[in-house]
Structure 1
């Protein structure tokens, strides 16, 4: 596999817990009527949806479906249904195949990020934060913040204060350090993009990045677990 045993096991655990997190987010969708928004044309107040829970639930479903689509497109397997339980179990069954795929690191990272996001929605905890430096993502402009849970001794996560999608959990710190060390390559304008760079540039999911790379035979190179694509090939495919 392209990932260590610990990351593989974390991936499996996240997939097992995501359906429960999805249900808990659903249970939090509606707030009490007295906190509701005014219904147009009436004097009463309707139900106000919990926007954070709505976003978390939609993100959980969208990301599971995107990775299932990748398995379907490249491995020829189709989930038996579209419920969260079925989608998560499908990915769990094909977790080892995914961890042999060039997208392995991003699949694990995205599932960890998604599960962490949902846990913060359903079980908010008091945290302490401190700034550790500028965000390394291309043209972001945000700051990296170390987040320490109330009972934690070490930072449980490093995330950007400008884009919540720019986040690294504790087991990804080595990768974060590697990206910082190679940041000068991007600043120098070299024609290579990470999968995440492509996803943000083209506004597509990570799984679609790998699908397009396969379909269009993008040139690529690797640095550890990180895959870089030729920028010229990306732009030729998606404009």
Structure 2
């Protein structure tokens, strides 16, 4: 996806930037788990260095109880990265926060523009979950929902959120999630854990 940069007049691939940010976050979280549990030095904090570090530790990661989370996250990020490299351009118009419960994504009105063809109908998509989208015929109902939606208690936290808010190392987070069977969901290639399960585990 590309959108215009109003300041420079140059195309900017919004989707690619979002995927790159998610890749950095996921790789850094898993690198943190390895350095904590194996007591080894941390890699350089960039995509190539983090990816190389994880690759060098594949045999150890394969035996880890949370290995399935790593596979799920990397598989999702791979799909998102391939989609972001699509050569088609679109016009993107910010709409507001996603109205689906537990979703931290941003809604955007999207019009696809394919060279040599008529622009495809507009739709509103969530930046975090591809299942959250609305056709143009649903915009009025969506606008009403956005107006009436009240602030509510946050119900999902990423590994990075938990690290910052509760000062828990990423390695301990994955162990707790596996031990206490926290409910989980994936958004943009990142795993989020249910707040209720997290709070219950911390209290116990």
Structure with more helix by fraction? 1
Which structure has more RCO (C-alpha within 8 Å, separation ≥ 6)? 2
Structure with more strand by fraction? 2
Alignment TM-score, normalising by the size of structure 2:
0.48
Alignment TM-score, normalising by the size of structure 1:
0.42
